[in-house]
Amino acid sequence: MIWTNLIAQTVEGASTQPAGPPPPGIFDLLKGPFFPLLVVLMVLWVVVIRSKRKQEKERQGMLDRLKKNDRIETIGGVMGTVVEVRDGEVVVKVDEGNNTKIRFRRSAIHRVIAEEEKKG
């Protein structure tokens, strides 16, 4: 019986002691100095990702519209005229005098020169 009273007193005594400051909540984090910085970084990240996706979409559209007789420039700087367009590759005539043709992957096409002249 004495042990039961001691255990009951220690349990009661432990619950009446103050627990200290409450843990920080989500609203306390919003008041911190790093929150505006995090918001700015998130906005910049979203803008960069969206512009990158837009550029990739435009590039894919340009490659899909590629057709015979388009003047192109490859990533390596080779300029020529499209002779044949296949599924994954393009045959380009690079020299009119010798009738030299080179096959490139579609992904190696940097830009279509005729489209840029029409825009400008």
- 3 state SS of 104: strand
Angle at alpha carbon of residue 33, lines to 25 and 50, rounded to 5°:
95
56-76 pLDDT per residue, tens: 999 999 999 999 999 999 999
What Å distances lie between residue 77 and 29, 74, 94, 113, CA to CA? Answer: 52, 5, 11, 12
Q: What is the mean pLDDT of the chain?
A: 82
Q: Kindly state the DSSP code that residue 25 receives in the 8-state scheme.
A: -
pTM: 0.59
CA 18 to chain CA centroid, Å, is: 50
99-110 pLDDT per residue, tens: 899 999 999 999
Q: Kindly state the DSSP code that residue 87 receives in the 8-state scheme.
A: S
Distance CA 24, CA 29 (A): 7
